[in-house]
Amino acid sequence: MRNFRCSRTLFSSLSLSVLALFGCSASGQDIHTSPSEFANTEVQYQPGFSTYVTAFWNMLTSDVADLTPAAPIPLMPMTSQQLAHEDKDVIYRLGHSTVLMKLGKQWILTDPMFSQHASPVQWMGPERFHPAPIAIKDLPEIDMVLISHNHFDHLDEDSIVRLAPKVKQFLVPAQIGKILTDWGVAENKIQALNWWNTTQVGETQLIFTPSQHYSGRGMTDQNETLWGGWVILAPTHRIYFSGDSGYFHGFKQIGDQYGPFDVALLEDGQYNHSWPAIHLFPDEVVQATLDLKSKVVLPVHNSTFKLANHSWNEPLEQVYQISQQRGVTMVAPEFGQRYEIGQPLPVRRWWAQ
């Protein structure tokens, strides 16, 4: 009986891992768009039942070493006092795709995920490798939260609900506003944008740009909300946040139109040859950095959750090696480590265990 319970728990946990990455779908065909659906500009994609089964089986039978860290991940705790005295343009990586940055006098937070599980339930599913370096209650007042899409590892209900009282504006893709209002976020705090829409928050201009991905939190809402990345044009620095995306020509278009960028926050992790169109492989991270004309790449979407069948530290190590070969500057701060934009941050390979 005990072995049965363990097997059932493992099955449920792996299923939720796949759900966090893909949502659910009953069709493996290309998207046939309707007035209620969004579509990519290049590769139309919707994960089907076979994708779900393949991903589940690969994770269940994986012989990949180090899917999870063997030792605690290095982490630098942050304090509210530290942030209160911050007077530079800085970036702090908090976990997965959650990044806190200060540009000028504004605090900006991307895809806040502070929960223990990236899952529709909080008692099971992909579990964090490390705690967040700061609690929500200790964060400063946030001028804007940027959401890239509605997958569970990027749009987390508990994190949004707890953050809402200290957030001035939530900037979200089209059709995601209703999700937030259903969670209790005031409608006047939400701006929903389509691709290439521009908005202004204080001194900062923001443009919601295409990415090559998809959306869905269940079987009935596939691609009914939009997905994308964010161009952040502050008076002092230009930042690009990719959200989730496969490699596509849009990176060059964004770079030509809004670059050069000071930092590109690019997803790097949870890739697999079974779904090559929707996540960046390490060599594509470096190429996208060049396309964007970014001075620096800071890889995100890795080292917090196990959502794909690769070693947990492979994404950072491979981008590190390829970036050196191709003359691209990579920074990889530890979680909670202060990175001052425009200043050198030697790579310490903290992920090498």
Report pLDDT for 218: 82
| β-pair type (98-103, 90-95) | antiparallel
Residue 31 DSSP class: P
Enclosing H/E stretch for 284: helix 282-292
Q: 52-56 — which CB contacts under 8 Å span 24+ positions?
A: 52/18, 52/22, 52/24, 52/25, 54/274, 55/18, 55/21, 55/22, 55/272, 55/274, 55/275, 55/308, 55/309, 56/14, 56/15, 56/18
- Taken in order of first residue, the domains within the chain and their CATH numbers are 80-340 (3.60.15.10)
Q: Cβ(130)–Cβ(335) under 8 Å?
A: yes
C-alpha closest to that of 169 among 154, 189, 147: 189
Tens digits of residue pLDDT in 113-126: 999 999 988 888 89
Rounded Cα gap, residues 331 and 339, in angstroms: 9
Gap between the Cα atoms of 46 and 98, Å rounded: 25
Query: CA 242, CA 239: separation in Å to the nearest integer?
Result: 10
Digitized pLDDT (tens) for each residue of the chain, 353 residues in all? 333 333 333 334 444 455 555 554 333 323 234 456 899 999 887 666 566 566 666 666 667 889 999 999 999 999 999 999 999 999 999 999 999 999 999 999 999 999 999 998 888 889 999 999 999 999 999 999 999 999 999 999 999 999 999 999 999 999 999 999 999 999 999 999 999 999 999 999 999 999 999 999 987 888 999 999 999 999 999 999 999 999 999 999 999 999 999 999 999 999 998 889 999 999 999 999 999 999 999 999 999 999 999 999 999 999 999 999 999 999 999 999 999 999 999 999 999 97
Specify the pLDDT at position 219. Answer: 74
Give the SS3 label for residue 59.
Answer: helix
